[in-house]
Structure 1
Amino acid sequence: MQVYSREKAADHSAANAIAGAVETSLERSCAGQDRIVVAPELAGIERIEARFRGKGFEPHRHDTYALGVTMAGIQTFRYRGEARFSPPGNVIVLHPDEVHDGGAATDDGLTYRMMYIPPERFLPATAARGRTLPFVASPVVDDPRLAGLLLEAIGSLDETIEPLKFDELVGEIASALLDHAGAPQARAGRLARPEVLRACDFLRENLCRQVSAGDLEAVTGLDRFALARQFRQLLGTSPHRYLVMRRLERAKGLISAGESIAEAAFASGFADQAHLNRHFKKALGMTPGRFAALSAA
């Protein structure tokens, strides 16, 4: 019997998700005109999807980290004096204040997604590992897990992301960059069982409102990155995932009791019925409608 570690399983899952997203973007890139889609600002972080042929933009630089995933075509750019190339599924890591240009390397054109993260958003995560801001030597990285994190954080561009989930993703992205920069892993230290249990109680009591990482910091006395690590060590999951699963438990109970799916979604803290549908199917392998029919039977 072959046994996979949690990290390998996560990499495999991320690779499958990226493959599906890349295939979809490849289909879109074969038709339509050049364009840039800019998502609504999210906590000071810009998110875009760009599609174009030929030269995309002239040399310039940002005061943020520019992190993205090549979705279709071959992405090319000059960075730190060299021509770089990124095929679909690869991650782009551009550091603040580094001059670069960009374009499609072939006539097939290019589609990519990118997010621009102010360096100060990474400081708490890097401080937790005793490091300064990460510098990743290669601007093109083959890392399915990091690509999956970025695509999840960038999202579908027209949907909002819960603050707690987004803070967790930023922390995981920072940790992945530190790994690529060769930073040592943080020492495990003591297990904070009382603090994690207080966080669990708080999440269960606040299913129907937006919970932020700041809320959990106030309840536990741990910073958000330490709490996320402790959650994974003790419960094998993240605070946001724990919150979603408790919401699903409530929704299942309400649906079993005869409530409509829309009412169950509202009463369980989901934004709407579609939001419940996505999480329900992903976690339980069936739609709420099918679950309702089976419960009634």
Structure 2
Amino acid sequence: MKQAVPARQDWVRCAEPVEGMTRIEAWFSGKAYAMHRHDTYAIGRTLAGVQRFSYRRSMCNSLPGNTMVLHPDEPHDGQAGTDDGFRYRMVYIEPALFQDVLGGRALPFLEGGISTDARLAAATAALLPQAGQLIEPLEQGEALAELAHALAAVSGTPAPRVKGDYLAARRARDYLQAHCTRAVTLAELEAATGRDRWSLSHDFRVFYGTSPYRYLTMRRLDMARRLLLAGSTLAQAAMAAGFADQSHMTRHFLKTYGLTPGRWLRFAGRL
């Protein structure tokens, strides 16, 4: 009698994060992530299999060699498109790093989420190295600049600046970053930026791809993940990062990463 072949274990390996950027490599046999959204670009390469995901009311299938570009705050999930599973690399990049290059232009948006454009493939290569390969700071800076320009060219982002106060949005981002572990009011942001709250909220979305509150929540989640990796309990991490309690953190964690904190911890190895 023929013995059944044991199912291959899913895995996710994370590179040591650097400011504004996180890299992973992963393999999944079936369902990978529930619907979720984050305030970063998710830019990646399918290495093997069919990588299937829901994105902007469509079902997308990324094949080996395709470049995936998911815009900040756009809901998506992830699963294998065939029984063979899929393997991929992904880099999550804060829009602020692209804005340092674009200087107040609208964030590039790639329709459909998948590209075969050679310019994007070349620009992402340096940011998606083999497992364990380090990226030097100067190399990273040059690669991010090249990728920002490639995204703008491929997406057709116009060169002229869009309407809005980029400096006010940047001051708001800096303020939220500095005060992410406590409640921040719109009145505080008005005082810190000199911009009325409704115009500021619009500006923030244009230049950073998400709302001020979502940005604040993401910085709390960043802190919570660091604390969890350092050995804090879920409750300790939640309180230290500024969440009301553990369930509050778990709810946002699942909406942002498509995984519960416990499942994420089981996958959180290092490249």
TM-score range, shorter chain: 0.5 to 0.7
Shift of 1:64: 0.3
**Which of structures 1 and 2 has the bigger CA Rg?**
1
Match of 1:150 in 2: 124
Structure with the greater relative contact order (CA < 8 A, sep ≥ 6): 1 or 2? 2
Aligned to 2:187: none
SS in 1 for 2:87: strand
Decide which of 63, 66, 75 is 2:42's aligned counterpart.
66
Separation in 1, partners of 2:99, 2:92: 15
Partner of 1:111: 87
1:40 and 1:158 in contact (8 A); partners too: no
Q: Secondary structure at the match of 1:102?
A: strand
Identify the residue that residue 181 of structure 1 maps to in structure 2. 155
CA distance in 2, matches of 1:55, 1:126: 36
Aligned amino acid, residue 69 of structure 2: V
Match of 2:17 in 1: 41
CA contact (8 A) 1:51 1:112 kept: yes
Shift of 1:150: 1.9
1:50 aligns with 2:30: no
Instruction: Please tell me whether the aligned partners of residues 68 and 147 of structure 1 are also in contact (alpha carbons under 8 angstroms).
Output: no
The normalised TM-score by structure 1 is: 0.49
Task: State the secondary structure of the residue aligned to 2:109.
Answer: coil
- Equivalent position of 1:86 in the other structure: 62
Aligned mates of 1:155, 1:44 — CA distance in 2 = 17
- In 1, Cα distance between equivalents of 2:145 and 2:100: 9
Deviations 1:227-260 (A, max 9, x none): xxxxxxxxxxxxxxxxxxxxxxxxxxxxxxxxxx
Q: RMSD of the TM alignment (CA)? A: 1.9
Tell me the distance in 1 between the aligned counterparts of 2:89 and 2:13.
9
Counterpart contact for 1:76–1:85, Cα < 8 Å: yes
Q: Distance in 2 between matches of 1:43 and 1:160?
A: 14
Secondary structure, counterpart of 1:153 in structure 2 = coil
Residues of 1 paired with 2:22 and 2:159: CA distance? 29
Q: Residues 99-147 of structure 1: CA distance to partner in whole angstroms, max 9, x if unpaired? A: 10011100111001000000000002222xx722111112010123322
Distance across 2 between alignment mates of 1:164 and 1:146: 20
Amino acid at match of 1:168: E
| Structure 2 gap segments, 5+ residues each | 1-6, 161-271
TM-score, normalised on structure 2? 0.53
Offset of 1:167 from its aligned partner? 0.3
Indicate if the aligned counterparts of 1:40 and 1:157 stay in contact, CA closer than 8 A. Answer: no
Contact 1:47 1:157 in 2 (8 A): no
Whether the aligned pair in 2 keeps the contact of 1:77 and 1:103 (CA below 8 Å) is yes
> Contact (CA 8 Å) 2:13, 2:24: kept in 1 or not?
yes
Displacement of 1:184 in angstroms is 4.9
Q: Which runs of 5+ in 1 are unaligned?
A: 1-30, 187-297
**1:32 Cα deviation from its structure 2 partner:** 5.3
**In 2 relative to 1, CA 144–33 (structure 1 residues): closer, same or farther, beyond 3 Å?**
farther
- 1:142, 1:125 → 2: CA distance? 24
